[in-house]
């Protein structure tokens, strides 16, 4: 069987990967893959990102080896032209729900992108699951699958925005106590599905007494997300819903751990490199920084030190999940098949739906 290896990447390398659009490295044996598309039909971009700014502008950056020119289009008009690599900041305003850009190379297939972060009044970690490059040069389609923190504080304007974005299914990964304390608000017409990951775990039944105990709790919780019976059932539901239709949103409370493994499993199944998966996981720390600091600032220093590991996203947490995959299933493909009931046909369906290029 193909072994599952730990992801090792420095903070600087991860930051650089995020800024450069998370270009895929050479092929790895970690995850199920697809045969490369023919060169004439492939998307030539090895890195591309869109970043919206508070001043009503967006920065589009790209690298497309082999292309001579790249035309950047938005809302049907050309906003910039450049060479095989470039970066341009253009005015976009604040009216649109999302600012979409088409990157059109002179050879190969265009790429459609928007900023991954979707700004809502009631969340801090609502993101598009797509916009990442796979090992074989395809890209995960944006605007199809979303991930988030808790939805109980969504405003009416937020709900209207999610409806316009096409959210049709909301998967709630939280425990019963969390759902009772903070019931989801979902867009009109959307289906709400409970997929309780930790229902069978005793990991989070008591507060830890030290930072080391808190970190150990997080590691054990992430291992349960792979091997626990309720977790396997929950993630089987997540992948099944994503394979069956578009407009799927999955979330937990912070949008980083249970949601983080749902995203990691999805991206790995699609052939996204481990380094990219890790960078996406750790990005929750950036998006949640202000909210987490607000929590910690109201605690006595000794309690804040204990609580901080519970708020953090750390490489060892996600690696604990991948370690459990290797220990229990031997390979990620076996985890998909035996752990979350995603057979080869369903995997191909998922890939056909969500990959472009």
For residue 24, give every residue at least 6 positions away whose Cβ sits within 8 Å of its Cβ, in sequence order, or none: 46, 133, 134, 135, 136, 137, 272, 273, 276
Residues shown for the chain: 357
What SS3 class is residue 170? Answer: strand
What percent of the chain shows pLDDT beyond 90? Answer: 84
- Comparing CA positions, the residue from 75, 130, 102 lying closest to residue 246 is 130
What SS3 class is residue 210? Answer: coil
Q: Enumerate long-range contacts of 75-80, CB under 8 Å, 24 or more apart.
A: 75/100
Tokens of 264: 């990691």
Query: How far apart are alpha carbons 115 and 54 in whole angstroms?
Result: 12
What percent of the chain shows pLDDT beyond 70? Answer: 88
Which residues are catalytic, by number?
A: 252
CA angle 30, 31, 36 (to 5 degrees): 115
Query: What is the pLDDT at residue 35?
Result: 38
Per residue in 4-63, pLDDT (tens digit) is 434 444 433 343 333 333 333 333 334 454 433 444 459 999 999 999 999 999 999 999
Confidence of residue 303 (pLDDT cuts 50, 70, 90): very high
Per residue in 70-81, pLDDT (tens digit) is 999 999 999 999
> 55-93 burial string, b = 16+ CB within 10 Å, else e?
eeebebbbbbeebeebebbbeeeebbebebbbebeeebe
Name the DSSP class of 54. Answer: T
The answer, as to whether pTM is greater than 0.75, is yes
Query: What is the pLDDT at residue 3?
Result: 38
The residue-averaged pLDDT of 262-280 equals 98
Q: For all residues of the chain together, what is the average pLDDT?
A: 89
* CATH numbers and ranges of domains, the chain: 11-35+141-356 (3.90.190.10)
């Amino acid at each position: 069987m193909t072994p599952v290896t730990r992801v090792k990447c420095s903070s600087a390398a991860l930051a650089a990967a995020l800024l450069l659009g998370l270009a895929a490295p050479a092929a790895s044996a970690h995850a199920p893959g697809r045969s490369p598309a023919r060169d004439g039909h492939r998307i030539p971009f090895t890195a591309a990102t869109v970043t919206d700014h508070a001043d009503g502008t967006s920065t589009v950056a790209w690298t497309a080896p082999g292309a001579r020119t790249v035309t950047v289009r938005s809302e049907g008009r050309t906003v910039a032209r450049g060479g095989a690599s470039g970066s341009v900041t253009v005015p976009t305003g604040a009216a649109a729900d999302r600012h979409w850009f088409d990157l059109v190379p002179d050879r190969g297939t265009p790429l459609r992108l928007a900023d991954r972060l979707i700004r809502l009044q009631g969340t801090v970690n609502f993101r598009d699951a797509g916009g990442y490059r796979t090992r074989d040069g395809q890209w995960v389609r944006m605007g199809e699958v979303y991930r988030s923190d808790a939805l109980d504080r969504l405003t009416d304007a937020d709900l209207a925005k999610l409806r316009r974005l096409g959210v049709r299914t909301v998967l709630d990964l939280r425990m019963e106590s969390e759902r009772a304390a903070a019931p989801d608000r979902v867009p009109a017409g959307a289906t709400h599905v409970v997929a309780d990951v930790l229902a069978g775990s005793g990991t989070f039944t008591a507060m830890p007494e030290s930072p080391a105990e808190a970190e150990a709790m997080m590691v054990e919780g992430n291992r349960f997300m792979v091997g626990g019976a309720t977790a396997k059932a929950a993630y089987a539901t997540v992948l099944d819903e994503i394979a069956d239709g578009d407009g799927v949103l999955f979330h937990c409370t912070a949008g980083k751990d249970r949601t983080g493994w749902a995203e990691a499993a999805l991206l790995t199944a699609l052939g996204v490199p481990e380094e990219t998966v890790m960078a996406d996981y750790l990005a929750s720390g950036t998006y949640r920084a202000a909210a987490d600091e607000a929590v910690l600032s109201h605690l006595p220093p000794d309690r804040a030190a204990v609580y901080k590991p519970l708020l953090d996203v750390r490489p060892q947490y996600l690696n604990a999940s991948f370690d459990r995959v290797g220990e229990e299933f031997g390979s990620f493909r076996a985890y998909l098949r035996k752990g979350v009931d995603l057979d080869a046909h369903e995997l191909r369906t998922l890939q056909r739906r969500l990959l472009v290029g």
